[in-house]
Structure 1
Amino acid sequence: MNTRHPNDRSAPLFRLVVLDIDGTLLDPTDVVRPVVREAIQSCRELGVEVVLATGRRLRTTRPIVSELGIQLPLVLYNGALVWDTEHEAALAERPLDRTALERALREAEREGLGALVLRGPASGERMVLVTDPLPRLPEFEQELLPRTGDVDHRAAQQVLELDDVLTVDLFGPELALRRATARLARAGLPIYHHGPFEWLPALPRWVANVHAPGVSKATGVETLASRLGLTLADVLAVGDGENDLPLLRAAGLGVAMGNAPEHVRAQADAVVRGHDEDGVVEALERFVLEPWRRVRALA
């Protein structure tokens, strides 16, 4: 946890706001409410940059950017890709190398887990369901294919030849998944658990993201901040998930949503209302807009 108190009026003014998407920016119906858009626009009018940081791919984040109606820098795949939407170019990309891929797939085989790899923009962000010797998970495909329509199938040995894998998603029963991810974490690979795969209720499976060493939302945001002449101390970060924790700890102020799990709320500097009550607006008003307005009123 950071040492800066959220009500410390002598604290530096935040110049960069970083918002998670699911469970944070979006309400429970996956919509950006008008009041949230207005608060973001107010930050930008004060000269405060706003960034979205998410585990999503570029293609599934674009509709959110369109909904906001503004161009925003993006930290994607939990920090494995930093994207400039204005120039449609990658600012940083951190794929898993062959050693990391081999380790992740070996653990999947050992525990009987399914694996889905997510490739970067250069290959069209293709998703690859790993087969042979991993299980094909036909029931998973029945749900996934209609939703995405772009899933390839490759044997594990073929996947090891790919040089643009940004995420390995592992699926399986919770205990088996946690055994595998514990070993991967000890080997230095960042792991982010997401619990049950809720949009596949028929599957008794949990999901976890595996990334290249050093990948996190914090490192992705640090890349963007440095390009703006800022540091993580200048950042207000808001999120609700385990994948937000590295950033919430590293930011100048880390704010957890009220709907975040208890262990995430416990490690944040402040907690706001949930995404069903416009918690993002509360965070922006309390920690960005009000302090900046006070300073301008005294100028």
Structure 2
Amino acid sequence: MLQMICVDVDGTLVGTGNQVLPEVWEALKDARLAGIRIVLCSGRPAVGHALEYAKRLDPDGWHVFQNGASIVKVDTGESRSEELPHDLLVGLVEKARATERILETYTDREYAVEDTSPVSAEHAKLLGVPFQPRDLLSLSGMVVRAQWLIPYAEKDALLSEAHDGLQLHPASSPVMPQTLFVSVTRDGVNKGSAIRKVAGFYGFDLGRVMMVGDGHNDVTALEVVGYPVAMGNADKEARAAAKYHVGDVDSGGLVEAVELAMKE
């Protein structure tokens, strides 16, 4: 068997109904009971539904949130997260207010959004947290990430803009198909860098680690593991980075990936 399976959330664990299929839960439970560490590896923060998923998958394990900016041991709350430099954060907030784009800011456990539109409210529901707009710079504690919520038509314009010192992670969710989520972390912080750290915490060889994902923001993780797996609904960047391919999220493709990990 492999030593560790890293699992993306939206489009991999969670499908169009914002639900995890029962057979997926069962397969992941069997893998954990067999001794394989299961690591949630998501763009979502360590709150709401994502935190519940992590605790169910591996209740005393390390998990990756916020595209690698948050690395949290969910039973103790211990964090090995990466700060978003304050000057760069302020620059993002100023840009958001000038352009009237939706921006969110995050610590490990909290987030802020000033926008009061239905898109922001829908995202709070997806995350499983109350929708309570607040000043983007009002969070206490270490801010680790920001995130743009934009229509797909604005993707090229946003990605072509300078984000010096920062790394962008475009991603989508089948639950909000009209919205592109562009996560922003400090340069060099991504799912791949976080998986390297988690494997190190456990003393695992990356060659015996699997990553299962579907999006552009999963590519850095797919590139560092020995068993990179793309879902059937994956975008072209994730498909190109993967060595193995399984069915789509709504047909339980993740079960196929777990079965592969159990055999290797």
Correspondent of 2:82 among 94, 102, 106: 94
Query: How does 1:6-21 map onto structure 2 within 5 Å?
Result: 14-21=2-9
Deviation of 1:81 (Å): 0.9
Any conservation in 2 of the 1:25–1:280 contact (CA below 8 Å)?
yes
Higher deviation after alignment, 173-182 or 37-46: 173-182
TM-score, normalization by structure 1: 0.75
Any conservation in 2 of the 1:170–1:208 contact (CA below 8 Å)?
yes
Matched, 1:58 2:46: yes
Deviation of 1:44 (Å): 2.6
Query: How does 1:1-299 map onto structure 2 within 5 Å?
Result: 14-60=2-48, 61-65=50-54, 67-68=56-57, 70-90=59-79, 92-109=80-97, 111-121=99-109, 125=110, 127-130=111-114, 136=115, 138-140=117-119, 143=122, 148-154=129-135, 159=137, 164-174=142-152, 176-185=154-163, 187-194=164-171, 199=176, 206-286=180-260, 288-291=261-264
Amino acid at match of 1:164: M
Amino acid at match of 1:242: H
Deviation of 1:225 (Å): 0.8
Equivalent-residue separation in structure 2 for 1:234 and 1:196 (angstroms)? 28
Q: 3-state DSSP class of the match of 2:134?
A: strand
Deviation of 1:83 (Å): 1.0
Aligned-residue CA RMSD in angstroms?
3.0
Amino acid at match of 2:156: R
- Residues 81-132 of structure 1: CA distance to partner in whole angstroms, max 9, x if unpaired? 1111232322x111211122133234435644221212223xxx1x2224xx
Deviation of 1:174 (Å): 4.2
Q: 3-state DSSP class of the match of 2:159?
A: helix
Deviation of 1:72 (Å): 3.9
Any conservation in 1 of the 2:60–2:75 contact (CA below 8 Å)?
yes
TM-score, normalization by structure 2: 0.84
Amino acid at match of 2:93: L
Any conservation in 2 of the 1:217–1:244 contact (CA below 8 Å)?
yes
Q: Which runs of 5+ in 2 are unaligned?
A: none
- Residues 47-99 of structure 1: CA distance to partner in whole angstroms, max 9, x if unpaired? 22111111111112122245558544211111111111232322x11121112
Relative distance call for 1:197 and 1:182 in structure 2 (3 A) is: farther
Any conservation in 2 of the 1:189–1:213 contact (CA below 8 Å)?
yes
Amino acid at match of 2:262: L
Larger Rg belongs to: 1
Q: 3-state DSSP class of the match of 2:189?
A: coil
- Residues 190-210 of structure 1: CA distance to partner in whole angstroms, max 9, x if unpaired? 111235896386xxx643111
Any conservation in 2 of the 1:225–1:231 contact (CA below 8 Å)?
yes
Any conservation in 2 of the 1:98–1:161 contact (CA below 8 Å)?
no
Any conservation in 1 of the 2:16–2:174 contact (CA below 8 Å)?
no
Equivalent-residue separation in structure 1 for 2:42 and 2:33 (angstroms)? 24
Any conservation in 2 of the 1:171–1:177 contact (CA below 8 Å)?
no
Equivalent-residue separation in structure 2 for 1:236 and 1:163 (angstroms)? 33
**Identical counterparts, % of pairs:** 24
Higher deviation after alignment, 160-169 or 187-196: 160-169
Q: Which runs of 5+ in 1 are unaligned?
A: 1-12, 131-135, 292-299
Count of aligned positions: 261
Equivalent-residue separation in structure 1 for 2:25 and 2:175 (angstroms)? 27
Equivalent-residue separation in structure 1 for 2:19 and 2:76 (angstroms)? 26
Equivalent-residue separation in structure 1 for 2:56 and 2:220 (angstroms)? 27
Higher deviation after alignment, 68-77 or 18-27: 68-77
